[in-house]
Every structure is written in structure tokens, then in C-alpha cells.
A = this chain, B = another copy of it.
Amino acid sequence: MNAEIITIGDEILIGQIVDTNSAFIATELNKIGVSVVQISSIQDNKQHIIKAFQEAETRADIIIVTGGLGPTKDDITKHTICEYFNDTLIENTEVLAHITQLFQKIANKPLNNLNKQQALVPSKAVVLPNKNGTAPGMWIEKKTKTFIALPGVPYEMKAIITDEVVPLITRKFTLPYIIHKTIVTQGEPESELAERIAFWEDALPQNISLAYLPNLGMVKLRLTAKGVDKKKIEQQINNQIALILPHLKEIFVGFEEASLETEIIKLLQLRKQTLSVAESCTGGLLASSITKNAGVSSFFKGGVVTYQTETKTQLLGVLPNTIDKYSVVSAAVATEMVVGCQKVFQSDYAISITGNAGPEKGDSDAEVGTVYIAVSSPQKVTVECFHFGTNRYRVQNKAKNKALELLKKVIFASENN
């Protein structure tokens, strides 16, 4: 069973808004075993809408259209549907009653003529009630094809998908079973990861496909399995994951929406141990990536952003001598920063980052992109040097991710001691 999503409205085509509706609909359809073959964003234009309907019919069994159902002149979806299905608009009494009530309750005023037209629906359509707004959803069948028209306002559309569309589709159609499972990895580029797991990828069963989703040092591996026997394909996916996990070892982060932050948060909360951070070139990004998450106050003591060189001495006790001798971007300074940080915050673990994010060389001769990261545990300090390229945004974000990766390793190692 295939679906196509068509979003109607110029605001997407001029780049003014990002289409987030389609991702929501696609996620919900995938969950029930309906594959989305195409998502199209098109103009508020009758000929263009009709052409899109025709093209979609050749690819998909279910066509979901959002947008263009408002009461103003530029909203032409309903009239275009009538033309496409050779139908006429009739007033729907339930919708009219709902809209009238909505206006009294929310706006405390009677319906105007413009909004009364929201109760007009094509005669062949089954109405899908819109509890959050005035424009109803519509379900129209044409031989083997099903057209579903929904309002474009995200929270109205979402409620109709969840409450009406998904239950109706699961009732009407016999659907295959689809499972997605995502493995999150950190610390190995896509191409090397691909080589590492090639033996496994090449031997995947035909009904399981693999996708690589790389982003700033992380690569997500998404497995998709399709079948009719739910139990069997769940078993298949689990078998494949059991096969590959031992080969991912040190780069494995977690499943699905897992990130280094969420894994570290879990670990530290579990162990009731604390963390503090001292940042130079990442300038607060590391602290911010941790405090973005709720519930971190139990283990995150705080951080310092020692951006100017002398603040490393004032706040963290880095010796001026060390800076003179080794420069501010050095293993020695990273080490003194992390020790100072651990002491100031009295935390079990500490991270320090000192480097040059560019675009120009600063108080050090280090090349742009050179970053030293130190991690301190209750047992010891480890420090490493990295080169993250010349793009400031990427240097800062890769340094942040790498610091979390090193911290995770150190926490695991300190468990084994």
C-alpha cells in the first residue's frame, strides 16, 4: 500500500516556511505499514493541482492533500476537488453545527458568510471532523484510489490524521508490517563505517534495507524491514542487530533518538556522579548541549567559558608559565584547565576544551581547527589533540561531539576499574 503527500501553498515554494506537515504524516503512515512514495509541494493553482493529482494516481493508492482549505479567495483546493471528481459542493449540517458552536465558544460571535462556506463539502466526500478548526477533512474514493484532503494548519491536521485517517486506513486496507530501527554511532566517518560493516550489509535479507544518515561526526544506520508476519520480521531485525552490534563496539551510542548527551545523562544519573566543563573555543556550546535537556541539575554542576587567555588563569588556575611555554592551545593547558575545573566545581568528572575555531589564529600559533580535549575522572586525566577543519561552526560542533565521546569512554573505563 503506497501513499503520496501533496502540500498546497505558495509559502513553501518561496521558502518562507519549511514543510513539517509531511514528515509528521509520513511517520504516522509508516507506522501502520503504508509507504510514502513521494511528497510534493505545489502552488495554489487549479491546473497544477489537477496535474499533481493525476501524477500521484499513477504512483500511489492513497493521496493525502494538505492546505488550501481556508475560507479566503486564494484557497482553491475544495473547488478543484469538485472539478477533478466531477462533483458539486453541498452544505454539511454536522460541519455547520460544529463551526457555529466553535464561533460562539471561542470567538464569542456569530458565523460570518465567509466562514459559513467552510460547511460546504463535495457530495461524494466522507467528512473527517476537525475538532480544532473550521475546515473539515474529506475522504473521497475513486475506483481503487483514495483521496484525503486535510487543512494545512499543523495542529488541526495532526488531530485529524491521528483520530480519523489512521483508524480508517487500518480498517479499510490489509497492510504489510514495516519496522524501522535506527542504530546511532559516533566517531567514525560514513565511508569507513561502510567498509567496517560491508560484510554484514551485503548479507542483509532482501526485505531489509539499510540507510546511512551522517551528521557532524555521528552516523545513524537505519534498518527498514517489511513483511506480513509481524513476529517474523521483528525477529529478523533483532537478529541483524545482534549480528552487527559486536562489530560497532566503541562507536555505538544507542538506538533511535539516542545521542551522546542522552547516554551520558543516563549514565551519570544512574551512578549519582557529577560533571563540570571548562570551555575555550566551543564558548559554551558543550554546556548548552547538556543543559538543553531537562533534569540535568542532579549531576551537572556547571561550567566556565574561559574565552580570553587570562581568564584561564583567573578562574581555573592555569599557570601563566604553562601558557608561555606551551601556548594556550596545548595538551598542557587543556590538562591544567580540566584539573582546575574539577577542583572548582568539586565534580567527579570534568571536560576541558581549548583550541582554535578560526577563522584566524588567536593567542596561539596553532592552526585553525586544532583542538585539545581533556577529560578528568576520579582516577586520571586523558588528553587528545584533534584537527577539525576550517569551518568555525563545524570545528565547534565536532569538538563538542568529540568531547562527549571521550567522556563516555572514560566513564565506561572508570566503571571497569
Contacts and interface: CB of A to CB of B under 8 A. Distances in A.
Contacts of A190: 70-72
Nearest to A52: B38
Nearest to A389: B106
Contact of A38 (B30, B40, B195, B304): B40
A17 to B, nearest CB: 7
Nearest to A295: B360
B283 A291 contact: yes
Contacts of A344: 314-315
Given A18-B20, A155-B393, A308-B301, A189 B285 contact: no
A288 interface: yes
Interface string A175-198: 000001010000001111011000
A360 to B, nearest CB: 8
B284 A211 contact: no
A210 to B, nearest CB: 7
A18 B23 contact: yes
Contacts of A391: 132, 155
Contact of A16 (B41, B108, B213, B305): B213
A246 interface: no
Contacts of A9: 211
A413 interface: no
Contacts of A195: 112, 114
A190 B303 CA distance: 36
A307 B311 contact: no
A389 B107 CA distance: 9
A362 interface: yes
Contacts of A41: 22, 38-40
A380 interface: no
B211 A74 contact: yes
A53 interface: no
Given A112-B195, A304-B305, A362-B297, A12 B23 contact: yes
Nearest to A363: B297
A222 interface: yes
A15 B30 contact: yes
A404 interface: no
Contact of A294 (B73, B106, B359): B359
Interface residues of A, number: 110
Given A10-B211, A191-B115, A284 B306 contact: no
Given A12-B23, A41-B22, A189 B107 contact: yes
A102 to B, nearest CB: 9
Interface string A285-296: 111101110111
A108 B387 contact: yes
A284 B305 contact: yes
A282 B12 CA distance: 31
A240 interface: no
A394 interface: yes
A251 interface: no
A59 to B, nearest CB: 8
A315 B222 CA distance: 44
A414 interface: no
Contact of A40 (B39, B43, B112, B360): B39
Contacts of A300: 283, 307-308
26 contacts: A14-B30, A15-B25, A15-B30, A16-B222, A37-B42, A39-B40, A70-B212, A71-B191, A71-B194, A153-B214, A279-B284, A282-B288, A283-B288, A283-B300, A284-B285, A285-B291, A287-B288, A291-B307, A292-B393, A294-B358, A294-B359, A295-B360, A297-B363, A302-B305, A304-B305, A315-B344
Given A112-B192, A155-B393, 15 more contacts: A13-B35, A14-B30, A16-B27, A16-B182, A18-B19, A48-B59, A70-B212, A72-B194, A72-B212, A112-B191, A283-B287, A284-B285, A285-B288, A294-B360, A311-B345
